[in-house]
Amino acid sequence: MSFILKYLCLGLDYLLSFILLGFGAAGSVLPRLPVIPAIPDTPGFEIAAKMGLGWNLGNSLDSTNTDESGNMATGLETEIMWGNPYTTREVFVALYEKGFRSVKIPTAWYNHMDADGVIDAQWMARVRQIVDWAYDLGFYVVLDAHSHGDLSNPYIPTRAAEEATAAWLVNAWEQIAGEFKDYGDRLLFQAINKPRVAGSYMEWRGGLLSERHVTNRLNKIFVETVRAAGGYNDRRWLLIPTYIASPNPVAMRSMRMPDDGRVIVALSAIVPWAFTDGTAGNQPVKIYDESVKQEITRTMENVYRAFIAKGIPVWIEQFGAADKDNTADRAAYAADYVTLAAKYGMACAWWDNGNTREQEYSGNSFALLNRADCSWYFEEIADAMAAAARAAWG
């Protein structure tokens, strides 16, 4: 009987999720009155403006891999597993001089824990060193617990895995928040990067209704854990994602904010996919035109309605466009994206994974900065974003 009940509940979960997904899709494309944004004058939006133009240290501290036996790699060498060199202070100097004012440091922790869940001291020290390089230069720094959605990841937002995921989340953030408890407002914590169930049909469609509810509960647990960790953590700004950090209207409407006045929503909005992703379909879009800009605007308007208009601050943790030998179009896209984000009350951060078209991940080439010598692969794009950021935030 319990077996039958389990699958009846699962079937209902899927049915409700499909119905809501249909309504959300329709609502995102139907004609609507244009939004005339009014940005709240509150501390959360002040922080967003100060964060300004951001950049992700992607595929470095978040890198994982397996050895020949299929075991998860550990130790300091994981930082270079995905093709990037060891991070140096000069990386942040180059970014600051260009006009970037916030950096996200995606960090995997689960492969650096022992059997008792204790984070390796050398790994913690390395993360702290990199945070310090950016923080001491004046950046706003976002430190997360990065997951990859694969089956080795301990963060699984399902009812069945909720208890184990919550235990892992509490253990990890007690240690991380404790380590960084004396840092001030310019260090922010993000609960997780893209909470999702790997390989599920709804993984990239906003998740099941139950999965979105579990994500809300885990976000609340994260906030409570950090607040109890001592030092400045009782008032630190914290970031929490929607399911898969998606600007999907269903995912955004399902989000429930913790009862805490210093929380910001984190979204990944690499849109529209046909233009931004190097592997999208057989005919990826290379030209930046009005139709692409309209897709960005529609996303910003949806986010504005869901959060900004309700006084909830948002940070776009990831945006960007892969290289398709279309540098001028990407520069125009990047400048407009920064401008539109600011118009609707949000700051945003370019997803830089260090990959170029000549490297192994040829369809996923978001690199702007050459981390080996701190020169720019695409200075035209960085300059376009920096100019837009100066015009938006000064």
pLDDT in tens, 332-349: 999 999 999 999 999 999
Inter-residue contact 144 to 104 (CB < 8 Å): yes
pLDDT tens, residue by residue, 237-285: 999 999 999 999 999 999 999 999 999 999 999 999 999 986 655 567 8
Q: What is the pLDDT of residue 3?
A: 46
For 117, other C-beta atoms within 10 Å of its C-beta total 16
Question: Exposed, middle or buried by CB within 10 Å (0-12, 13-18, 19+), for 81?
Answer: middle
Domain containing 137 equals 40-393
Assigned domain for 377 exists:
yes
CB 139 within 8 A of CB 103: yes
Q: Is 136 exposed, middle or buried (0-12, 13-18, 19+ CB in 10 A)?
A: exposed
pLDDT of residue 277: 86
Task: Determine the pLDDT at residue 364.
Answer: 85
Quick one: tokens of 196? 């999702």
Q: Would the pLDDT of 303 be above 80?
A: yes
> Is residue 125 situated within a structural domain?
yes
Model pLDDT, residue 110? 92
**pLDDT band (50, 70, 90) for residue 153:** confident
Predicted local distance difference test score (pLDDT) of residue 18: 44
Q: Please give the model's pTM, rounded to 2 decimal places.
A: 0.91
69-73, 232-236, 324-328: range with lowest mean pLDDT: 69-73
Please, which residues bridge with residue 72 across strands?
66
pLDDT of residue 30: 47
Tens of pLDDT along 345-382? Answer: 999 999 999 999 887 555 689 999 999 999 999 999 99
Spatial CA neighbour of 180 closest among 242, 109, 240, 84: 109
**pLDDT higher for 15 or 222?**
222
Q: Is the predicted pLDDT of residue 169 greater than 90, yes or no?
A: yes
Q: Is residue 232 part of a domain?
A: yes
- Report the distance separating Cα 39 and Cα 304, nearest Å: 9
Nearby residues of 211 by Cβ (< 8 Å), 6 or more positions away: 157, 158, 196, 197, 202, 243
pLDDT attached to residue 70: 60
- Please indicate, yes or no, if residue 16 is contained in any of the structural domains: no
Arithmetic mean of pLDDT over the chain: 89
CATH number reported for the structural domain that contains residue 326 in this entry: 3.20.20.80
Asked whether residue 74 carries a pLDDT value surpassing 90, the answer given is: no
The pLDDT > 70 percentage for the chain reads 85
Please name the residue that has the structure tokens 């509960």.
Answer: 217
Q: Count of CB atoms within 10 A of residue 150's CB?
A: 9
* 83 within a domain of the structure (yes/no): yes
pLDDT in tens, 99-120: 999 999 999 999 999 999 999 9
3-state SS string for 343-358: HCCCEEEEEECCCCCC
Query: Is-cis flag, bond preceding 272, omega within 30?
Result: yes
Q: Which of 137, 157, 138 shows the shortest CA–CA distance to 147? A: 157
Q: Which pLDDT score, from 0 to 100, does residue 173 have?
A: 98
CB 380 within 8 A of CB 327: yes
Task: Give yes or no for residue 68 having a pLDDT over 80.
Answer: no
**Mean pLDDT value across residues 3-26:** 47
Report if residue 6 sits inside a domain. no
> Residue 150: pLDDT band by 50, 70, 90 thresholds?
low
Side chain identity, residue 186: R
In a domain, 93, yes or no: yes
**317, 190 contact by CB (below 8 A):** yes
Asked if residue 15 is part of any domain, the answer here is: no
Indicate if the pLDDT at residue 318 is higher than 90: yes
Count structural domains, the chain.
1
Q: Give percent of the chain above pLDDT 90.
A: 77
In this predicted structure, the answer to whether residue 93 has a pLDDT above a threshold of 70 is yes
Rg, the chain, Cα only = 20
Task: Provide the pLDDT for residue 362.
Answer: 52
Separation in Å, CA 273 to CA 267, 286, 370:
15, 11, 24
- 392 φ, ψ (degrees, to nearest 5): -85, -45
Q: Looking at residue 76, what is its pLDDT?
A: 95
Stretch among 14-18, 36-40, 321-325, 371-375 having the lowest mean pLDDT: 14-18
Of residues 337, 367, 340, the one with CA closest to residue 354: 367
Average pLDDT over residues 129-145: 98
